Each structure stands twice: as C-alpha cells, then as structure tokens.
Amino acid sequence: MLTFLRHPTFQLIFTAALGALSVFGFAPYYIYPTPILALAGLFYFWRDAETQKHAMQLGFAFGMGLFGAGVSWIYVSLHDFGGMPSAAAIFATAAFFAFISLLPMSAGWALKRYFPHAPLLAAPLLWVGQEWVRGWIFTGFPWLTMGYSQVPYSPLAGFAPVLGVFGVSLLTAIAAAIVAGALHGRLARKQWAFALLGLWITGAALKHVEWSHPVGTPLTFSLLQGNISQDLKWREDEVVRTFQTYRDMALTSHAQLIVMPEMALPILMDEVPRDYLDKLAQHAKAQGGDILIGVPEAKRQDGETLYYNTMLSYGTAPTQAYRKFHLVPFGEFIPFKPVFGWIYRNLLHIPLADLASGDKYQQPMALSGQKIAMNICYEDVFGEEIIRQLPAATLLINVSNDAWYGESLAADQHMQMSMTRALETARMVLRATNTGATAVINREGRVIAHAPHFKQLSLDGAAQGYAGTTPYVLWGNVPAIALIFLGLGVLWVRKKK
C-alpha cells in the first residue's frame, strides 16, 4: 500500500471517510459492494494497528463517519419538529453519534487485546458482535447494521431467511476480511477469489428456495398516505382537516383492507366522534372487509391513565387492537426520568412522549381472510420481535410516520428494513405511512409498488398471503450470534495453545 496510508492521523481521517462511504450501500442508493470495501479498509488498518489505542481510534472514527453521514436525520427530528434549539440539537446529535461509536471502538480494543494473532479472522466476528449489542442495549438502535446494505440485490441477501440480518452482516464482514487479506497478501488471489465466489454462489442459490407457499386468495388493499406535515399534525386547528382527509380517502377505496398510517387521527380514541367511526366501519363492511385506524388510546389501569400507540380494526371482523410494544426512547417514552425529564420540560415539545408499551406477545389480526402481523413504525427494525407473530401470520403490515425526519434518508432506510423483514419471514409486507415510504414489498424483499414521497394518495393493489416457516422464524438471531461466540471461542483456544 501507499506509504502515506501508514500515517496514524491520515488513517483516522481515511477511516472516517470509509464509514461515511459505506452509507451508499443502504437505501436509497443500494450500492451493496460499498460497505464491503469500506469494512475491508477498516479491517486492513485494524490489522496493522500497532497499539490498542490506535485500533480503538480507528473503530471510533469509522463509527462517527458511518452514523454522522447515515443518521444525521436525528438532528431534523430534534430541531425541526421537536423544537429543540439548534445548538442543543447539534450537541445532542453529536453526543449520540459519539456514544454509539464507542461500540466499534470497543471492537478495535478487543481485537488487539485478545486476538492479535488472528486479526482478520476475529475482525468480522467482533464487528457483528458490536452491531448485535447495539441492537439491544438501551432498548436498541440497529439502524445501519451492515446486513441491511445487502438487501435486496446482493447475493448475500439470500442468507436472510436462514440467519437473519445479523447473519447477512456477518457474511458481509467476512467478505470484507477476505478483501483485506488479499490486500495484505495473506491469501493468494485465486484463494480469496474462490472464497468470495463461494459466498456469492451460495447466497444466490438460497434466493431460489421457496420458503413459503401461497395461502388463501389475494387480498385487495388501499394504503392511505395522508401527507399531513409533522408541524401541522398535532395542531388543534388542523384536526378537522386531517379527519376529513382520511375519511375522504377511505370512502373512495373499494379494497377489502384499508390501512391508515400510524396515529393518523391525532386525538385520543375516546374523543373520536362515534358517527365518524360508524361511517368508516359501514364502508368497510360494504366492501366485505375491514379498515385499520391508527390512533392514540387512553386506558385506566391501577388508578392511572396509560396512553398507547394503537391500531384498531373496524368492519366485517370483530374489532381488534394492536398496541405498540417497542417504544422509541426520547420519542415515545422518557428513560431515566429523574435525569432526562428536564429535557422534555425545557427543550422539547413532542406530543405523547411518554407512552405505555402494549403486550410483548400479541396475536395476529384475523382480517379479510388473512392473519396479519401488525407492527408500528420503529418496531420493524427488530426482526426477532416481528417473528413473535409467526408462523401464524400470513401477511405483515407496518404503519409509520417518518414525517419526523423530513426529506432525509430515514424513510428509505426504514423501508429497507421492512424489505429485510419480508426476506426473513418469506411474507409480503405492506407499509402505510404518513408522508413516505408507503410501499408494497414481495416475499423476496423487493419493492413492487412505491408511492411518491410527500404526496397525498392511496396506494392500491392486491397482496397474497403466505404460510411456511423459514429457519429464521424458527430460531431468530440465535444461530448467527452463536456462530460469533463459537468463532471467538475457537480463536481464543487457538491463542492459548
């Protein structure tokens, strides 16, 4: 390699740039080789790092580049729609990037501390290990897990129904380690070429496996995208217009299933006029189907009022409810209230920022001849939670409101995660959102219909239900994580010997 690449300061700058470059592997770009090459650069520098400190710095720099470029939309939600002052929002966003970058930093430390004898073997395992930790620590933030970058076009996406997104991430990191090994001359060109080819061929072959089979008749649907701006959504003088918008859109639909987005109606369920609900229910019955309504809900329990983010069904089937379980910290609930409560009292103006969680295990909704696994917004970034309703569910529906993130990458990145859930479960996914990305995703994880962002419209079509069980539905993340710990264990034993 070029001599200047050996300078520690340049390596940090270059590694941060590689982290930012890897964002092009994710939606809306889908240039899936990019994260492989970016990780290869990080692993190359990790191998040559002379000290634990430098390896940690490299991991931190890569993380700051990745998250700084990939999730800068957090600033938009805090400042533009959360009302936080600009300086405070910049500080909070940068602090968040720094905090989650501590995880790739810790991977660099562990690499030099425990596995200096096999850096290119341990690097992929440690990288995905820290991604997995990020997926659950403090309720989890698995955004930009490298496995998502391979969905749906890369051959490695074929492993999603078997090992889930963390398994795809592991194979992505292994491919990067192979490239880094070739750059170091540790492997002959033919050897690393055959290794990469083997991964590609196996993944491509898995894409042709029929993990599920059709069940029932196709279901006609209308996904309502009301395009209600976030800065208007909760204003009292806009409530009537919002109600009229969704009523008019619903009444013009002739579908069996009509789906409103998350919290489409911006008042508590008890305050929604009865005749409004009756009219929507009667229309759904006339179509021989049901309508799903997103609305906040208040319930008295043990002497206190709890508020839920809820989807309710009305129509031919008995009324059913799904209440959001996995809430967004600092957006839907306040963690460590004694410490962070002052943020909401003084800096933020987010409505319904302290919700209660629904039941952890909820049954699929039986609607229009299908069993529908509901999930609301952020929930579908957690594959191990989605499979709780499977294999019983025949169709997945995600409702969301990504208007919080403006015209950023967030909505498309979120949709890519829904695409991954379709692959993992071998089910179609319907997405109804407020401003985008409203979409229809087939069981191969490909978008077959996509509404334009920031336009009021109804996305209509027909969805087929599927039955069957993928390995991921059976075992979740256990096999992928077990492979990581097993691999690290083998390398540790090898070091001792």
pLDDT per residue as tens digits for the range 232-280: 777 888 899 999 999 999 999 999 999 999 999 999 999 999 999 999 9
Residues 411, 401: Cα–Cα separation, whole Å: 9
Question: What pLDDT, on the 0 to 100 scale, is given for residue 340?
Answer: 62
Mean pLDDT of 41-56: 95
Q: Specify the higher pLDDT residue, 444 or 8.
A: 444
Is the pLDDT confidence value at 2 over 60?
A: no
CA dihedral sign, ordered 238, 241, 243, 249: negative
> What are the b/e assignments for 27-43, b being 16+ CB within 10 Å?
beebebebbbbbbbbbb
| 266-280, 291-305, 321-335, range with greatest mean pLDDT | 266-280
**pLDDT band per the 50, 70, 90 thresholds, residue 339:** low
Range from 63-67, 76-80, 98-102 carrying the lowest mean pLDDT? 76-80
Mean pLDDT of 30-36: 97
Do strands 304-315 and 457-467 pair parallel, antiparallel, or not at all (unpaired)? unpaired
Mean pLDDT of 207-218: 95
Is the pLDDT confidence value at 103 over 60?
A: yes
DSSP assignments along 162-226, one per residue: HHHHHHHHHHHHHHHHHHHHHHHTSS-HHHHHHHHHHHHHHHHHHTT----EEEEEEEEEEEEE-
What digits encode the pLDDT tens for the residues 132-189? 999 999 889 999 999 999 999 999 999 999 999 999 999 999 999 999 988 877 555 6
Please give the positions annotated as active site: 262, 324, 377
Is the pLDDT confidence value at 16 over 90?
A: yes
Q: Domain spans of the chain?
A: 3-209+476-496, 213-469
Mean pLDDT of 331-341: 65
Question: What pLDDT, on the 0 to 100 scale, is given for residue 391?
Answer: 97
Is the pLDDT confidence value at 308 over 70?
A: yes
Question: What pLDDT, on the 0 to 100 scale, is given for residue 183?
Answer: 82
Is the pLDDT confidence value at 347 over 70?
A: no
**pLDDT band per the 50, 70, 90 thresholds, residue 343:** low
CB 273 within 8 A of CB 282: no
What digits encode the pLDDT tens for the residues 456-488? 999 999 999 999 999 999 999 999 999 999 999
What digits encode the pLDDT tens for the residues 374-410? 999 989 999 999 999 999 999 999 999 988 788 889 9
Query: 213-469, which class in CATH?
Result: alpha beta
Nearest to 393 by CA among 355, 359, 430, 356: 430
Question: What pLDDT, on the 0 to 100 scale, is given for residue 60?
Answer: 98
Question: What pLDDT, on the 0 to 100 scale, is given for residue 85?
Answer: 86
Residues 287, 303: Cα–Cα separation, whole Å: 41
Q: Structure tokens of 187?
A: 């492997």
Mean pLDDT of 282-300: 95
Query: For residue 273, what are the contacts with CB-CB under 8 A and spacing of at least 6?
Result: none
Mean pLDDT of 49-73: 96
Question: What pLDDT, on the 0 to 100 scale, is given for residue 342?
Answer: 61
Question: What pLDDT, on the 0 to 100 scale, is given for residue 126?
Answer: 98
Question: What pLDDT, on the 0 to 100 scale, is given for residue 344?
Answer: 60
- Separation in Å, CA 340 to CA 80, 93, 188, 337, 346: 20, 15, 54, 5, 10
DSSP assignments along 356-392, one per residue: PP--SS-PPEEETTEEEEEEEGGGGG-HHHHGGGTTT
Question: What pLDDT, on the 0 to 100 scale, is given for residue 9?
Answer: 87
